[in-house]
Structure formats: structure tokens, C-alpha cells
């Protein structure tokens, strides 16, 4: 139990200067689990770039996202996130799309989102060190100027094993852990990072309710005034 606490404490102290960097890499974090630069292969760097590009592309155009991992399996509108208590309506910039005829009512727009397969140990909400790379990649995406007018809502999801209350609480704690990590890694204003727990209410693989793919953190972009 001591080592994870020390790693996370070291992370907090070191990322205070990270916002000054245009791009954050694992070299920004001094942990025992981080490989030295000499063993970081070009293949690994290419995979990192590919992941970042896929995240950015899917957030920019969720409907055309082709990534099996990042493509969202649950959609949310502004009304949904307001009703969940994630954000107050007065903070949100309405974005609506009209249907083909002018007489048709205005339809709520689906908010941009991606799924993140962030692994946690059983019954734990501590971010594992082997998940840092993916979160560092996401932190660089969130700092892109095209996302300046959004808040970032991280929604924790679980599988169906266990009670609804247990799953909702654990999924919230895991989403909050990811939110804290990214707030520190990006250097963005903490109030731009929001979190909530969905439990097992929106399974990614309903035909496999206990499957690992259901245990994920979903990022939803909320346009703000």
C-alpha cells in the first residue's frame, strides 16, 4: 500500500511545472515504473501518436469515429448531463440542430465523447502506473485549442457484478481519480474537469455484462459559455 501512495505523491509534486510544457510525456513523471529514454522505441512513440490522433479525431467527430476502443457506446445530450447533476444549465452553451423542415422541433445535439479503457485493480480506485501513458496522451489532446470552449466530464462505468449502489460508488471514485490525474497533468483550470459515476447503467457489451470492456471511463465534452 505504501508504494502507490508514494508514486502518486511524487506525481503531484512534479506535474506542477507540466502546464508550462506544450507536450507532456512520461519523461515528465519521475516514477520507478517509467522506462528511461534509452529504451523508449520508435514503435512505442508511433503508437502514442496514433492513440493521440485517434482520441482527437473521435472527439472532433464522434459519429465518424472508427476506433474500437475510443468509439463511445453511450450518448449524452446537454439535458442528460444537466439532469445527472454534472453541470448547471446556466453554465452550458446550448447547441442544437434543426431537422430537415423548419416546422420540425429542435433536436438536442449529442455531445462529443470517447470511451477510455482505463484499467484498475480489483475493488480499487487508484490509477495504475501502467495506465499513465494513455492518460498522458489524453492530457495533450485536451490542451488542443479546438477544445478551449469545453468542460470535460469523466463518467465512470462498471460491469454488472455487485450491487447497483456499490458499482455506482466505485465507478464515481475511478472517474474522480482519472479527473484528478488529468487536472494535474494538463495544468488546466480544475473547474473544467468534472466527474460522475454511472455504475452498470450503460453497459458497453450488454451481451457480456461482466466483461472487462464495461469497466471504462467515458469522456464527454460539454460546451460552455
DSSP secondary structure of 126-183: SPPGGGHHHHHHHHHHHTSGGGTTEEEEEEEE--SSS-HHHHHHHHHHHHHHHHHHHH
- How far apart (Å, rounded) are the C-alpha atoms in residues 32 and 22? 24
Q: What integer pLDDT is reported at residue 24 of this predicted model?
A: 59
Superfamily of domain 2-223: OmpA-like domain (3.30.1330.60)
Give me the residue spans of the domains in the chain. Answer: 2-223
Q: What integer pLDDT is reported at residue 43 of this predicted model?
A: 54
Q: What integer pLDDT is reported at residue 31 of this predicted model?
A: 45
Q: What integer pLDDT is reported at residue 109 of this predicted model?
A: 78
Mean pLDDT (10-residue bins), the chain, 225 residues: 46 43 56 42 67 92 88 90 92 67 64 90 88 93 95 94 94 95 93 94 92 89 93
Amino acid at each position: 500500500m505504501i508504494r502507490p501512495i508514494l508514486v502518486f505523491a511524487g506525481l503531484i509534486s512534479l506535474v506542477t511545472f507540466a502546464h508550462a510544457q506544450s507536450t507532456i510525456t512520461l519523461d515528465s513523471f519521475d516514477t520507478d515504473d517509467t522506462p528511461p529514454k534509452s529504451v523508449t522505441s520508435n514503435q512505442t512513440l508511433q503508437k502514442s501518436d496514433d492513440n493521440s490522433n485517434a482520441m482527437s479525431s473521435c472527439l472532433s467527430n464522434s459519429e465518424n469515429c472508427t476506433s474500437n476502443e475510443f468509439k463511445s457506446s453511450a450518448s449524452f445530450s446537454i439535458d442528460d448531463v444537466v439532469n445527472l447533476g454534472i453541470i448547471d444549465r446556466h453554465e452550458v452553451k446550448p447547441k442544437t440542430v434543426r431537422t430537415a423542415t423548419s416546422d420540425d422541433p429542435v433536436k438536442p445535439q449529442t455531445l462529443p465523447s470517447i470511451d477510455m479503457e482505463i484499467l484498475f485493480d480489483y475493488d480499487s480506485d487508484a490509477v495504475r502506473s501502467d495506465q499513465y501513458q494513455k492518460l498522458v496522451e489524453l492530457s495533450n489532446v485536451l490542451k488542443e485549442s479546438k477544445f478551449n470552449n469545453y468542460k470535460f466530464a469523466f463518467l465512470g462505468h462498471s460491469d454488472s457484478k455487485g450491487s447497483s449502489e456499490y458499482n455506482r460508488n466505485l465507478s464515481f471514485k475511478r472517474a474522480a481519480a482519472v479527473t484528478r490525474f488529468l487536472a494535474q497533468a494538463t495544468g488546466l483550470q480544475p473547474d473544467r474537469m468534472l466527474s460522475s459515476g454511472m455504475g452498470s447503467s450503460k453497459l458497453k457489451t450488454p451481451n457480456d455484462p461482466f466483461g472487462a470492456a464495461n469497466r471504462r471511463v467515458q469522456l464527454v465534452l460539454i460546451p460552455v459559455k
